[in-house]
Amino acid sequence: MARGGYHHGDLRAALVRASRDLLAESGPAGFSVARVAKRLGVSTAAPYRHFPDREHLLSAVAATAARELASDLAAAADRAGDDPVARFAAAGAAYARFTVRTGAGFLVIFSTELSGVADPERTDATRALMSRWIDLVTATGDRPMQDSLRLIEEQVALAQGYATLYTQGFFHRASVPVEEIATRVEQGSRRLVS
What pLDDT tens digit does each residue of the chain (194 aa) get? 344 555 556 899 999 999 988 888 877 778 889 999 999 999 999 999 999 999 999 999 999 999 999 999 999 999 999 999 999 999 999 999 999 888 778 888 988 888 899 999 999 999 999 999 999 999 999 999 999 999 999 999 999 999 989 888 888 777 889 999 999 999 999 999 98
Are residues 85 and 180 located together in one domain of the fold? yes
How buried is residue 20: exposed, middle or buried, by Cβ count under 10 Å (0-12/13-18/19+)?
buried
Do 40 and 12 lie in one domain? The reply is yes
Q: Are 35 and 99 within one domain?
A: no
What's the pTM value of the predicted model, to 2 decimals? Answer: 0.87
Q: Cβ(16)–Cβ(61) under 8 Å?
A: yes
Q: Are residues 90 and 39 in the same domain?
A: no
Q: What is the pLDDT of residue 133?
A: 97
